[in-house]
């Protein structure tokens, strides 16, 4: 009686054995909050933006200085006596800009830039959620694909061994051995590729967290995937109003507009007031007197020509304002396109997961039928190997479809501006 390998014992084992110390998605995310370099850079940039506002505001606030002056001079007149003069005085000066459009618009531009730094940090936080979840589930995806590849390689190898034994006793032709060898070579090559993919996915996770993980909580098999409840247009409207990337582009438009106004305001008059007070010894002619001096000055200046730099600055700022407006329009179009595409993909992913699951069931049934046919002589080794390959391919496709749904759903929420830590908690409930 012909012997045929059965895959029940190989593919019935779980892909990931749960371990008490397995890290889950929430633990990985909390670790990434403190170790991710991109988020740390965004936080530092936000602080830098806050200081930039203070620097621009300083030009509008009073400037106060205090100082001391010591004079020690010696005068020698030809043929006459030498006179020494020593004087020590203290002074204080307060200056205040009364009218300076350039400083005012630069301050408004810096304020818009400070708001942009806050939005960049918000965007980085959401991107961290996306990157952490993506890296985590890519590891799980790679693990499942690797386990499937190992099971396939093991099954095909045993099939090859049995085929060689049958050829040696003269039950089959050499062509069947060659078919089995070719199938095994393909499965082994796939196994090598999947091992490399798993190592690479671990590296991506380590880059975010700064630590190496070997055991992660895996996705439960009973998770129910559902389509978005809101209509696509509602997701688009949410993205146009809440997505940090669009808000950031809008802040860029505001800042560029103020910078444009600042450029043209270089031609406006500047009015400053200055009050000064001096107390101590002062030199008057050749005499030293002790007294105080108080003065109040009001100055107005109008720039007439600065070598063409003011005109160039104004035109440059106008061009950057146009650039910022175009960038905002691009962001809005991109968000619309991404949301509509991702919305459709999520809908398709739900149907794909169900179809792939059914495909694994039918592929397993087809393999069992082919194995039975091979035992009774109605099927050949090529058909058995193809049936095995179809089953393992169906298992890979089913696993990939589940992870595609998760990643696409997170991206949809990201562009809709609703991605938050609560989504990490929700996904964590899908793990065990």
Q: Which helix (H) or strand (E) holds 404?
A: helix 381-415
Positions in the chain short of pLDDT 50: 1-20
Q: Which residues contact 42 (CB under 8 A, 6 or more apart)?
A: 120, 121, 123, 124, 125
- pLDDT given for residue 127 in this prediction: 95
Q: Do residues 50 and 110 lie in contact, with contact meaning Cβ atoms separated by under 8 Å?
A: no
- pLDDT given for residue 14 in this prediction: 35
Q: Which residues contact 399 (CB under 8 A, 6 or more apart)?
A: 141, 144, 145, 148
Distances (CA, A) of 376 to 155, 225, 371: 20, 42, 9
Is 347 exposed, middle or buried (CB count within 10 Å of its CB: 0-12, 13-18, 19+)?
Answer: middle
- The sign of the dihedral angle between the CA atoms of 330, 332, 333, 335 is positive
Q: Do residues 371 and 384 lie in contact, with contact meaning Cβ atoms separated by under 8 Å?
A: yes
Tell me how far apart the alpha carbons of residues 397 and 357 are, in angstroms, rounded to a whole number: 9
Tell me how far apart the alpha carbons of residues 116 and 253 are, in angstroms, rounded to a whole number: 10
Domain positions in the chain are 8-428
> In Å, how far from its chain's centre is CA 313?
33
- pLDDT given for residue 158 in this prediction: 83
- pLDDT given for residue 281 in this prediction: 76
Tell me how far apart the alpha carbons of residues 396 and 11 are, in angstroms, rounded to a whole number: 12
Options 3.40.630.10, 1.20.1600.10, 1.20.950.20, 1.10.8.100; CATH for 8-428 is 1.20.1600.10
3-class secondary-structure state, position 295: strand
Tokens of 406: 């998760």
Q: Do residues 187 and 396 lie in contact, with contact meaning Cβ atoms separated by under 8 Å?
A: no
DSSP 178-208: HHHHHHHHHHHHHHHHHHHHHHHHHHHHHHH
Tokens of 249: 């582009």
Query: pLDDT per residue over 93-130, tens digit each?
Result: 999 999 999 899 888 888 887 778 889 999 999 999 99
Tokens of 321: 């304002």
Tell me how far apart the alpha carbons of residues 373 and 264 are, in angstroms, rounded to a whole number: 86
DSSP 85-113: EEEEEEEEEEEEEEE-HHHHHHHHHHHHH
Residue 186 has a CB neighbour count (10 Å cut-off) of 15
Query: pLDDT per residue over 14-56, tens digit each?
Result: 333 334 468 999 999 999 999 999 999 999 988 887 888 888 8
């Amino acid at each position: 009686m012909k012997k045929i390998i059965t895959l029940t014992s190989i593919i019935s084992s779980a892909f990931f054995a749960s371990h008490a110390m397995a890290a889950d998605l929430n633990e990985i995310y909390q670790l990434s909050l403190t170790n991710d370099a991109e988020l740390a850079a965004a936080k530092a940039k936000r602080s830098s933006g806050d200081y930039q506002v203070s620097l621009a505001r300083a030009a509008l606030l009073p400037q106060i200085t205090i100082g001391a002056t010591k004079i020690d001079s010696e005068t020698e007149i030809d043929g006459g006596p030498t006179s020494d003069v020593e004087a020590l005085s203290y002074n204080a000066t307060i200056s205040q800009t009364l009218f300076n459009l350039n400083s005012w618009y630069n301050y408004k531009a810096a304020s818009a830039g400070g708001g942009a730094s806050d939005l960049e940090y918000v965007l980085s936080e959401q991107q961290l959620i996306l990157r952490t979840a993506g890296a985590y589930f890519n590891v799980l995806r790679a693990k499942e694909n690797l386990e499937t590849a190992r099971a396939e390689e093991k099954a095909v190898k045993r099939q090859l061994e049995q085929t060689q034994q049958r050829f040696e006793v003269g039950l089959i032709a050499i062509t069947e051995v060659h078919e089995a060898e070719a199938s095994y070579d393909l499965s082994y090559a796939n196994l090598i590729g999947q091992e490399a993919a798993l190592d690479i996915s671990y590296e991506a996770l380590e880059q975010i967290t700064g630590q190496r993980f070997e055991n992660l909580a895996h996705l439960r098999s009973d998770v129910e995937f559902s389509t978005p409840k809101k209509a696509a247009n509602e997701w688009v409207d949410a993205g146009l109003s809440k997505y940090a990337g669009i808000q950031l582009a809008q802040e860029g438009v505001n800042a560029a507009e103020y910078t444009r106004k600042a450029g043209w305001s270089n031609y406006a008059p500047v009015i400053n007031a200055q009050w000064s007070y001096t107390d101590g010894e002062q030199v008057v002619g050749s005499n030293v007197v002790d007294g105080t001096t108080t003065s109040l000055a009001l100055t107005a200046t109008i720039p007439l020509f600065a070598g063409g730099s003011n005109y160039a600055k104004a035109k440059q700022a106008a061009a950057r304002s146009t650039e910022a407006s175009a960038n905002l329009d691009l962001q809005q179009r991109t968000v619309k396109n991404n949301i509509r595409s991702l919305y459709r993909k999520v809908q398709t992913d739900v149907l794909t997961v169900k179809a792939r699951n059914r495909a694994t069931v039918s592929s397993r049934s087809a393999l069992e039928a082919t194995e039975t046919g091979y035992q009774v002589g109605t099927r050949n080794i090529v058909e058995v190997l193809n049936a095995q390959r179809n089953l393992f391919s169906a298992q890979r496709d089913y696993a990939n479809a589940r992870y595609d749904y998760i990643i696409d759903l997170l991206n949809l929420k990201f562009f809709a501006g609703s991605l938050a830590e609560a989504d990490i908690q929700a996904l964590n409930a899908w793990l065990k």
